[in-house]
Amino acid sequence: MHLCSSFFVFPMNTVLGVSFFLLLSLFTEPVVPFSHTDHYTKPSDLSLRRHHRPQEHLEVTYPLPSEQATPSCSHLILRHSFADTIDSPPFSTPYIPPSHCPSPWSRALLRFQADCKGEQYDRIAGLWLGGVELFRTSTAEPTKDGVFWNVWKDVTRYSSLLTRSDLDLTMMLENIVNHEFTGIYHVTITLSLFKGRAVVGVPLGVSCEGRSRILRDESDGGISEVTVERDDLGDTDLRRGSLDSYESPADLIIPISDDGDRGFWFRIERESDVHSRSIRIPKNTHRAVLELCASFHGNDEFWYSNPPNSYIKTNGLSTRRGNGAYREVYVTIDGEVVGSEVPFPVIFTGGINPLLWEPVVAIGAFNLPSYDIDLTPYLGKILGGKKHRFGIGVTRGISYWLVNANLHLWLDHHSQVVHAGRIINKSPEVTIERQEEFTGLDGSFDISAEREGKVAGWVRSSAGNLTTVILHEFKFKNYIKFQKNGTYKLVKQKHKAKKKTKLINGHGQVVGLLKVKRKYPLRVLTWTKPCLRKDRYLLVTNVTHALRERQSGACFSSSISNKQDSSGWMKVKGHSVVAGQAITRQNYTYADRFNCYARNVAAADGKLIEDSSTFQCEQ
């Protein structure tokens, strides 16, 4: 029986291991690479996916806050249905803070609920309050019986905005509804607010209860600690200069974003695009952190698998998915690059093989990550009352990226003017090495990139003279290999980043320390084979990706390990999956000095077949 001419059900273990390759050996005819998309829809009546009632989709993360604590109050802020919204302005409504639950709050959580029924692509969506991005998400692809999902996000850091009554709440979700795509996304968003010392979700961090630590940086010899009772410090610069204040929400948040007519995100279409906004920050700002928000779409949705332009041109391919497989989102102030991030490769629910992402979606698909860039060492450049231009661009970026940023500012309430200056700025250009070797449609491409830098600046405020020192480095490797006339494609990528922030008081003592390490390994294998019917083809896929992060400071440490392994095959007609099988396994662990959580899940053919969790982890 020919797999592409008749639907053939394989046991799930045949999708993995040796049988994965036996399946492919049934086919020998070549197909042209890049003649097919990496983004698909799943017809709502696909027989493997019938559940006869709406099915919940989920992103595996720390357990829902509602399972741990009851909020002091809940507040509905948005309810709307997104039908045929393409090329239309975003939905906007006045934001009203909760009068029945006034601030201050110890924790604020946003709950995003959505449901959809019919046939539809996945869609990107953003939520802004006064132009400040609160949440970026993508949708699940629905079924005939319907799907629904819930996402929780900690929005405590936006507390200064959540108390205001002069702002509009805006949501952008461009959707198409016609005779083919019938799915309408129904969205409800609420705030859950907590008073007192509520502990819900992943802890914000662990403060040094009742004491403060002076840290002496001994370079390669490590860091020594001297514990000082906080009661003996009074309100000195040592106490107020501690990185414990990193848990406190900013006093002011300024959006670096578009005008909102098509959402508040800027759209990057080419490498030369740098979108910017002129901003004047208050003269009494003593700390600044830029929160960078970015997602990738169109020809750059799978940027980590794009070949160099030379390969495309030599082989006469029509694809526009080029520029190689390295991207870096960067931030500028008055044209000077002040920070950058290689983004985590989020895979949306229609990406690579949509059967892999139901009902468990890929890491970050329902709650896209943002990236913090500490700009405190650059305050000497932007204090003084003048406007300065903050810009965002994408190295080697092509159409298209959606980017914007939130500038979080902490103000000195005891002084009208803060003075600052930069003392160290070692931010060399990224070092990139490329190697390519191909004959016809087969070949291999290597990219290596790395950067190591250091920036330091002092700020003199009512808290004294404090110096922020930031050391940062990253290493990036990407390897792409084409075989079998370009129909077999292997992508292997590694990204490692380290950042160390020190806060030094006027006596030369390190009073605050924060270290962050991140790893983003990714491996994608795809093999395209023809079917007897020329309008269909078979695609076999394996995807392994992970997010690993460690944070540590003077009084806390935490780690997250989140890994998915997915395998499957599908028969495709046009952009639609007409048959297939898939399995995804995921292992998630979180640990700090006081909490531990682990969850293991497995999904096969659209159903959750394993789900176990525990708060008792092996240390």
Residue 618 in contact with residue 596, Cβ under 8 Å?
no
Q: What value does the mean pLDDT take over residues 573-598?
A: 92
Gap between the Cα atoms of 192 and 454, Å rounded: 40
Residue 120 in contact with residue 182, Cβ under 8 Å?
yes
pLDDT digits (tens, 9 = 90+) for 358-367: 999 999 999 9
> Taking all residues of the chain, what is their mean pLDDT, rounded to a whole number?
86
In this model, does residue 82 exceed pLDDT 90?
A: yes
For residue 438, give every residue at least 6 positions away whose Cβ sits within 8 Å of its Cβ, in sequence order, or none: 311, 314, 444, 445, 482
Q: What value does the mean pLDDT take over residues 230-236?
A: 30
Gap between the Cα atoms of 542 and 565, Å rounded: 8
Identify the three-state secondary structure at position 246. helix
pLDDT digits (tens, 9 = 90+) for 90-99: 999 999 999 8
pLDDT confidence band for 207 (50 / 70 / 90)? very low
Q: What per-residue confidence (pLDDT) applies to 575?
A: 82
Burial label, 253 (beta-carbon count in 10 A; 0-12, 13-18, 19+) = buried
Q: What per-residue confidence (pLDDT) applies to 8?
A: 38
Q: What value does the mean pLDDT take over residues 49-77?
A: 82
Q: What per-residue confidence (pLDDT) applies to 477?
A: 98
Q: What per-residue confidence (pLDDT) applies to 555?
A: 80
Q: What per-residue confidence (pLDDT) applies to 617?
A: 73
Q: What per-residue confidence (pLDDT) applies to 223?
A: 34
In this model, does residue 334 exceed pLDDT 50?
A: yes
Helices (H), 52-197: 159-162
Q: What per-residue confidence (pLDDT) applies to 488?
A: 96
Residue 553 in contact with residue 517, Cβ under 8 Å?
no
What's at 199, amino acid-wise?
Answer: V
For residue 88, give every residue at least 6 positions away whose Cβ sits within 8 Å of its Cβ, in sequence order, or none: 174
Structural domains of the chain in order of their starting residue, each with its CATH number: 12-62+202-614 (no CATH), 63-201 (2.60.120.1570)
Three-state SS letters, 136-167: EEECCCCCCCCEEEEEEEECHHHHHHHCCCCC
In this model, does residue 543 exceed pLDDT 70?
A: yes
Q: What token pair was written down for 464? A: 């004294």
Q: What per-residue confidence (pLDDT) applies to 68?
A: 60
Helices (H), 241-392: 309-314, 379-382
Q: What token pair was written down for 593? A: 């000095």
Gap between the Cα atoms of 583 and 578, Å rounded: 17
Q: What token pair was written down for 254? A: 């300024």
pLDDT confidence band for 49 (50 / 70 / 90)? low
List the single range of 356-360, 585-589, 614-618 with lowest mean pLDDT.
614-618
List the single range of 44-48, 276-280, 571-575 with lowest mean pLDDT.
44-48
Gap between the Cα atoms of 549 and 471, Å rounded: 17
- C-alpha distance from residue 618 to each of 91, 560, 591 (Å): 47, 14, 10
Q: Looking up tokens 């507390």, which residue turns up?
A: 159
Q: Which of residues 51 and 165 earns the better pLDDT score? A: 165
Q: What value does the mean pLDDT take over residues 349-353?
A: 95
Please state the pTM of the whole predicted model. Answer: 0.90
Share of the chain above pLDDT 90, in %: 73
Q: What value does the mean pLDDT take over residues 472-495?
A: 97
Residues in the chain: 619
In this model, does residue 177 exceed pLDDT 90?
A: yes
Q: What per-residue confidence (pLDDT) applies to 48?
A: 53
pLDDT digits (tens, 9 = 90+) for 13-44: 433 433 433 344 333 344 555 545 578 887 76
Three-state SS letters, 408-458: EEEECCCCCCCEEEEEEEECCCCEEEEEEEEECCEEEEEEEEEEEEEEEEE
Q: What per-residue confidence (pLDDT) applies to 205?
A: 38
Residue 185 in contact with residue 141, Cβ under 8 Å?
no
Q: What per-residue confidence (pLDDT) applies to 553?
A: 87
In this model, does residue 295 exceed pLDDT 80?
A: yes
CA 124 to chain centre: 13
Q: What per-residue confidence (pLDDT) applies to 197?
A: 61
List the single range of 110-114, 342-346, 554-558, 611-615 with lowest mean pLDDT.
554-558
**Any idea of the CA torsion for 4, 6, 7, 13, to the nearest 10 degrees?**
-60
Q: What value does the mean pLDDT take over residues 580-591?
A: 96
In this model, does residue 512 exceed pLDDT 80?
A: yes
Q: What per-residue confidence (pLDDT) applies to 99?
A: 87
List the single range of 174-183, 209-218, 242-251 with lowest mean pLDDT.
209-218
pLDDT digits (tens, 9 = 90+) for 144-160: 899 999 999 999 999 99
pLDDT confidence band for 196 (50 / 70 / 90)? confident
Three-state SS letters, 384-401: CCCCEEEEEEEECCCCCE
Among residues 187, 201, 207, the alpha carbon closest in space to that of 156 is found at: 201
Q: What token pair was written down for 507? A: 């006596």
Q: What per-residue confidence (pLDDT) applies to 38?
A: 79
